[in-house]
């Protein structure tokens, strides 16, 4: 899903840490959070106390599971809503509202059994028909879901719904209140993982239809937490669902502060209980002096060192159908002109990892032998000279990035300076608000833009390579279309031999890199401090419902 550095810095459902294998970083162990007794409503969002976790957050573009496609929205949605399946703390697909499922011999029909104790927040039982309604709502063209095709499109009949040729999904059948039958077009190894994404989450029809356009202000979800309050630009308050089938979370309340001052200042003033920190605070926070309490509260990776990497890739890209980016030599030149090692060490102060490919380290299929673009300014100049556009100074280009500050991100400024001095490409920088950027990106309005970043939805290379580069994918915003890449992506969808799957994905990644569709820049690392009284705070590589495990022990 789409994400930005700002979102990851502020939206502290924490999280996004990945190591050398698909498993989360767990802070201070994990225990069963169930069995908490009911409590009275907690204090306001800036007040801490027993059972209240205070975090920084950001206003989500939406809380509607059907229309979310970004990490900001998903951070809240995965705690308020839920689906048939979920990812556990080890990123394994496990039952959620479905207690089990069976698969037909041909590998195309799944029969899900809904838990009898699955309930909406108001106590109403969840039925198979609720899922059918939710999915047909998501695939109704009037809903304008940017993700329905991507995450539900394997189901037979979804394409007819999206095209307006049908009013129901033929591949979804309600057998009875507890039984849902789902038929997909072909056997696909990653299909169940897709059902952990918000687009497939269940919603209450009565809640949606009575609430109108503002129904998400009071959503009747099924997740471990309820939305108690959302004051735009000020706060979001979640309170625990006492009747959650896994047992009420240990946290009574989670208060997200959507505005405020310096995160580290707020942390040190005991206004929040955990936060990420950046370059401005890194030197003093990471000082290993035995008297430095902040250093003791830093989250460490599996290697014991501060800072851990997430499953994300940040990059610059372009519409490959528009000049000068319709020439592969120009795109390759942009890659050779970037000194990623210097950018990460000097500009980002080694708080991120240089990215040379599409898949991040730790993702299945990650290829350390990928042939990519090492810094070579002479080669960059040669490629421009050989291209259709030997004089890039003639182009009036704007690099669109996410932001609203006085100055764009330092790494964006560094990139544009490298391109200007090396190959003569001089681009102005334009900042656009996050929600607007998402809309315009889907409309393919941009010629040259910051990715802004892609963080995994599930640990499978299909989630990067197929979703972002298949020519007919709704998430392909570059106009890229390579028939051989498309052929291999279609072929690998039904490949059951996992080793062969990964080899094909590596072949596809190499082809995309050769076509220079992206300028990969870095894989983000997260640097966190967490108060000692916050227990079981999980830092995960992607957006999963981690708050169910957290407790406060003062």
Domain positions in the chain are 1-80+223-307+528-554, 82-213, 309-526
| Percent of the chain clearing pLDDT 90 (strictly above) | 76
**In the CATH scheme, what is the code of domain 82-213?**
3.90.76.10
Q: Is the dihedral of CA 445, 402, 309, 89 positive or negative?
A: negative
Evaluate whether 336 touches 375 at the Cβ level (below 8 Å).
Answer: yes
Decide if domain 1-80+223-307+528-554 falls under CATH 3.40.190.10.
yes
pLDDT bin (cut points 50, 70, 90) of residue 541 is confident
**In the CATH scheme, what is the code of domain 309-526?**
3.10.105.10
499-519 pLDDT per residue, tens: 999 999 999 999 999 999 999
Whether 550 shows a pLDDT value over 70: the answer reads: yes
Length of the chain: 554
> Would you give the DSSP letter of residue 336?
H
Tell me the C-alpha distance between 508 and 485, whole Å: 6
Tell me the average pLDDT of the chain.
89
Give the pLDDT mean for 305-310: 83
- Backbone torsions φ then ψ of 376, nearest 5 degrees: -155, 85
Which pLDDT belongs to residue 29? 30
- Which two three-digit tokens encode residue 337? 């002109």
Largest CA distance in the chain: 71
Q: What is the CB neighbour count within 10 angstroms for residue 412?
A: 21
Q: Is the dihedral of CA 250, 255, 256, 257 positive or negative?
A: negative
165-195 pLDDT per residue, tens: 999 999 999 999 999 999 999 999 999 999 9
Q: Which helix (H) or strand (E) holds 315?
A: strand 312-318
Tell me the C-alpha distance between 444 and 476, whole Å: 9
pLDDT bin (cut points 50, 70, 90) of residue 461 is very high
Q: How far apart are the first and last CA of the chain?
A: 36
39-76 pLDDT per residue, tens: 223 333 344 457 999 999 999 999 999 999 888 899 99
Which pLDDT belongs to residue 7? 44
Give the pLDDT mean for 347-375: 95
Evaluate whether 415 touches 338 at the Cβ level (below 8 Å).
Answer: yes
Higher pLDDT residue, 407 or 257?
A: 257
């Amino acid at each position: 899903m789409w994400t930005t550095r700002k979102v990851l810095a502020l939206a502290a459902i924490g999280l996004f840490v990945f190591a050398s294998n698909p498993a989360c970083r767990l802070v201070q162990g994990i225990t069963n959070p169930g069995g908490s007794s009911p409590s009275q409503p907690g204090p306001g969002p800036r007040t801490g106390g027993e059972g209240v976790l205070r975090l920084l957050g950001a206003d989500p573009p939406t809380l509607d599971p059907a229309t979310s496609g970004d990490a900001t929205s998903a951070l809240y949605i995965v705690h308020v809503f839920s689906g048939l399946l979920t990812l556990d703390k080890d990123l394994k697909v496990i039952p959620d509202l479905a207690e089990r499922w069976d698969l037909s011999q041909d590998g195309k029909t799944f029969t899900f059994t809904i838990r009898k104790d699955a309930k909406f927040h108001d106590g109403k039982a969840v039925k198979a028909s609720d899922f059918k309604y939710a999915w047909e709502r998501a695939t109704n063209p009037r809903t304008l879901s940017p993700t329905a095709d991507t995450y539900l499109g394997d189901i037979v009949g979804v394409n007819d719904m999206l095209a307006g040729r049908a009013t129901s999904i033929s591949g979804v059948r309600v057998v009875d209140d507890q039984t849902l039958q789902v038929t997909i077009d072909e056997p696909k190894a990653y299909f169940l993982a897709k059902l952990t994404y918000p687009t497939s989450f269940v919603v209450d029809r009565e809640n949606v239809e009575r609430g109108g356009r503002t129904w998400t202000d009071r959503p009747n979800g099924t997740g471990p937490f309820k939305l108690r309050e959302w004051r735009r630009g000020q706060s979001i308050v979640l309170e625990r669902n006492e009747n959650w089938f896994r047992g009420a979370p240990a946290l009574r309340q989670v208060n997200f502060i959507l505005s405020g001052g310096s995160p580290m200042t707020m942390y040190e003033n005991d206004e929040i209980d955990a936060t990420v920190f950046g370059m401005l605070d890194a030197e003093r926070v990471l000082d290993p002096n035995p008297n430095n309490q902040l250093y003791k509260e830093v989250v460490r990776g599996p290697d014991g060192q501060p800072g851990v990497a997430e499953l994300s890739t940040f990059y610059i890209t372009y519409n490959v159908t528009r000049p000068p980016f319709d020439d592969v030599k120009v795109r390759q030149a942009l890659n050779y002109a970037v000194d990623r090692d210097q950018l990460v060490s000097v500009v980002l102060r080694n708080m991120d990892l240089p990215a040379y490919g599409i898949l991040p380290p730790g993702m299945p299929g990650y290829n350390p032998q990928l042939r990519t673009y090492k810094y070579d300014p002479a080669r960059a100049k040669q490629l421009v000279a050989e291209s259709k556009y030997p004089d890039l100074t003639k182009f009036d280009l704007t690099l669109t990035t996410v932001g609203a500050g006085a100055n764009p991100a330092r790494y964006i400024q560094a990139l544009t300076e490298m391109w200007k001095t090396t190959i003569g490409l001089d681009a102005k920088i334009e900042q656009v608000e996050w929600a607007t950027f998402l809309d315009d990106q889907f409309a393919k309005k941009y010629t040259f833009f910051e990715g802004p970043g892609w963080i995994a939805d599930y640990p499978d290379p299909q989630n990067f390579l197929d979703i972002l580069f298949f020519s007919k994918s709704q998430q392909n915003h570059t106009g890229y279309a390579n028939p051989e890449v498309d052929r291999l992506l279609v072929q690998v969808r039904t490949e059951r031999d996992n080793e062969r799957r990964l080899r094909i994905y590596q072949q596809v990644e190499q082809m995309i890199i050769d076509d220079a569709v992206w300028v990969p820049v870095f894989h983000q690392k997260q640097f966190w401090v967490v108060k000692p009284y916050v227990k079981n705070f999980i830092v995960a590589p992607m957006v999963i419902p981690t708050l169910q495990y957290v407790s406060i022990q003062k």
